């Protein structure tokens, strides 16, 4: 499902992007080839994660809790309800989400789309926010993979003049429910503040 990131999604330079790349790449354990005598065995092949998001395909009810004031110690959340619908693209592993939630009391609406692409060479997913009304594609994507029943995805961006790491986490996955959280870290990943929680059900 969609998580709303910073209004400014462009980084100042490629160097910043490379910093983010090294951060989320280092988050994944590296394969260590086993030694057999003086001969080093080949590392096990990377896991195929191309179907990791298959659980999302179909239509869901979405309940969202959003923290609009971030990294300032706020505890004031806004809640929304709506839909999160997912479908595969052209019989591929890529999928597209249509997301629409509202807070009727405050007359607020979040309408957005998400594109997820799997790279079979890096065994990682790239997740892009798409704004079809404005005709924009959110860059950089969050990039990562699943480890068992938990998926983690990272990028780096600007939030009100501060460079922050952004993390998406998918967890509590079942045929009838799933949970996605977005967090910001202002200190290079030492601490995280959750600012978006979406619970899906059907």
> Is 38 inside any structural domain?
no
Q: What is the pLDDT of residues 134-179, one digit of tens each?
A: 888 989 999 999 999 999 999 999 999 999 999 999 999 999 999 9
Residue-wise DSSP of 107-146: TEEEEEEEEEEEETTTTEEEEEEEETTTTEE-SSPEEEEE
Whole domain around residue 182: which residue ranges? 14-26+52-201
Q: How many domains does the chain have?
A: 1
- Strand-pairing partners, residue 35, are 40
* pLDDT tens figures, 71-82: 999 999 999 999
The strand pair at 193-201 and 78-88 is best described as: unpaired
In a domain, 121, yes or no: yes
Looking at residue 93, which CATH number applies to its domain?
2.40.128.20
Residue 128 lies in a domain: yes
Least confident interval from 15-24, 67-76, 98-107: 15-24
> For position 23, what pLDDT does the model report?
46
149 in a structural domain: yes
The verdict on pTM exceeding 0.85 is no
Q: Report yes or no on 44 lying in a domain.
A: no
Whether residue 117 lies inside any domain: the answer is yes
Give domain status of residue 8, yes or no. Answer: no
């Amino acid at each position: 499902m969609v998580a709303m990131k910073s209004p400014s999604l462009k980084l100042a330079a490629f160097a910043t992007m490379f910093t983010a790349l090294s951060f989320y790449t280092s988050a994944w354990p590296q394969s260590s080839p086993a030694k057999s005598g003086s001969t080093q065995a080949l590392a096990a092949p990377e896991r195929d994660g191309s179907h990791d998001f298959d659980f999302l395909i179909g239509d869901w009810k979405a309940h969202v809790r959003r923290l609009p004031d971030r990294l300032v110690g706020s505890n004031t959340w806004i809640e929304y309800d709506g839909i999160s619908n997912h479908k595969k693209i052209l019989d591929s592993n890529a999928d597209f989400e249509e997301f629409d939630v509202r807070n009727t009391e405050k007359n607020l609406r979040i309408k957005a789309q998400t594109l997820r692409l799997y790279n079979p060479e890096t065994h990682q997913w790239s997740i892009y926010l798409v704004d079809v009304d404005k005709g924009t594609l959110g860059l950089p994507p969050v990039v990562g993979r699943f480890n068992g029943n938990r998926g983690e995805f990272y990028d780096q961006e600007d939030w009100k003049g501060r460079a922050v790491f952004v993390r998406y986490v998918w967890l509590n996955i079942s045929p009838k429910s799933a949970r996605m959280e977005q967090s910001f870290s202002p200190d290079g990943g030492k601490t995280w503040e959750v600012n978006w929680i979406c619970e899906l059900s059907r």
